[in-house]
Amino acid sequence: MASLPQLSISLLPLFLLFAVTAFYSVDSQSFVGVNYGQVADTLPSPAATANLLRSTSIKKVRLYGADPAIITALANTGIGIVIGASNGDIPALASDPNAATQWVKSNVVPFYPSSDITLVTLGNEVLTVGDGALASQLLPAMRNVQNALATAGLGGKVRVSTVHVMSVLGQSDPPSSGRFRPELEDTLRGVLAFLRDNGSPFAINPYPFFAYQSDPRPETLAFCLFQPNSGRVDSGTGIKYMNMFDAQIFDFEFYCKTGPNYQVQVDAVHSALNSLGFKDVEIMVAETGWPYRGDSNEVGPSVENAKAYNGNLIAHLRSMVGTPLMPGKSVDTYIFALYDENLKPGPGSERAFGLFKPDLTMTYDVGLSNARQGPSSSTVNPSPNPTASQWCVPKAGVSDAQLQTNLDYACSHSIDCGLIQPGGACFEPNTVASHAAYAMNLYYQTYGKNPWNCDFSQTATVTSANPSYNACNYPGGST
């Protein structure tokens, strides 16, 4: 028989989630957020942006500062708002409680609760910028701002955190062995105790895009984009990771020596938190994304890749499968970014992460519209008739090796592949091609009939011809 993936026992609970996670309302997707940067002179007005956000399923917005015009425009929208203080603000906030009180009075109190400010982030990547004095001031600043919020009657309503780059990890291969850098552990213990005591999240910035830039091989790209791949096994637990977002290892020296193991790993962070006794601290992905354009010498930026990464990330979050070490939940994730920031320095890709253009049209569609969960159009496997019944099938001429990869990938993503096992209605014919076709279609039907879910590294296509046969019924119907 065509082989099926050997799943770790720890993954079995994911299959129990299938019956209740196939479809979600917009209200249940509050974990999908977006970063709203302002290093640009082409941005729409805050009021126009608020109207745009109302037309989407985006329920959270992260600001890098505390622009009062934006905060006011988002009032009464039901959108949660993260505001920030810069690294340069930290010394004053740390040394003077009155400065923290004034900051809260200026940036939070006038707007809350009409504007649903939920979190204040102090600084960005403070512990890894190489400024020991600034790092030592982070926790006192966090305490002073949280105390000021409590004094203003907002304790437990507006929380305080900070944002970390993934290099706070010193060990992360395999994910189950994740540890923080030893020289940061003492500082992190204090920060983590603060986060735990106040119910605040540990915020990280994972970017699989940068991993692919350093290792531009097809298998690495598929692993980055949530597309079919052979997966990577955690030698400590036997768990197979199927995408870089769940299982990214940040060990640059190791990566440069060995290749495609440079992976930003949510589970590695979870293990690192656990190693210090803080496994109950929630993880928040403060930034992640993929550019749709870049300079001629940049590897990876394209509309197709950006659409695949962000679209599949959103589908992954909506599925609620979680990660292998944190099954059955989705972490709050803020996609970078709402708009391009045309004044940012650096390579061209830095100015091409926007989901929307200044005229408020989509750069590409990843299914964030309130009207529907799927895109209106796609250059990848477009549906032959959006109102007809549709099925996802392999293209002609695809090798058995690729089909086996597709089969393993689909069946490891919380779908029921029982019908293609012995005794199942779709077991015969007992071929890789037949079993892969059934599993690929079931994956496509389960995850919202989005064109990118019938891509499988460009080896599949959508058809209106029902592939069902005998007693083997392929799920599919009118969209």
Catalytic residues: 125, 287
> Cα-flanking dihedrals φ and ψ of residue 435, to 5°?
-65, -40
The number of angstroms, rounded, from the C-alpha of 291 to the middle of its chain's C-alpha atoms is 14
Single out the residue of 210, 106, 121 nearest to residue 158, CA to CA. 121
Longest distance between any two alpha carbons in the chain, whole Å: 76
DSSP SS3 for 299: coil
HSE toward the beta carbon, residue 21, CA cutoff 13 A: 24
> Cα-flanking dihedrals φ and ψ of residue 262, to 5°?
-80, 95
Q: Are 358 and 445 in contact (CB under 8 A)?
A: no
> Cα-flanking dihedrals φ and ψ of residue 118, to 5°?
-110, -25
**Distance separating alpha carbons of residues 84 and 125, to the nearest angstrom:** 13
Residue in this structure with the two tokens 């768990």, named with its chain if needed? 239
Residue in this structure with the two tokens 């105790």, named with its chain if needed? 193
Residue 438 CB contacts under 8 Å (≥ 6 apart), including other chains? 417, 419, 420, 426, 472, 474
Q: Could you tell me the two tokens for 294?
A: 């870049």
The number of angstroms, rounded, from the C-alpha of 166 to the middle of its chain's C-alpha atoms is 14
**What DSSP string describes 106-121?**
HHTTTTTTTS-EEEEE
Q: Is the peptide bond before 306 cis (omega within 30 degrees of 0)?
A: no
Residue 95 CB contacts under 8 Å (≥ 6 apart), including other chains? 137, 140
Q: Could you tell me the two tokens for 215?
A: 């290792």
Residue 127 CB contacts under 8 Å (≥ 6 apart), including other chains? 135, 138, 164, 168, 184, 187, 188
Query: Around Cβ 450, how many Cβ atoms within 10 Å?
Result: 23
Residue 197 CB contacts under 8 Å (≥ 6 apart), including other chains? none
> Cα-flanking dihedrals φ and ψ of residue 266, to 5°?
-60, -40
Query: Around Cβ 68, how many Cβ atoms within 10 Å?
Result: 14
Q: Could you tell me the two tokens for 241?
A: 């990771």
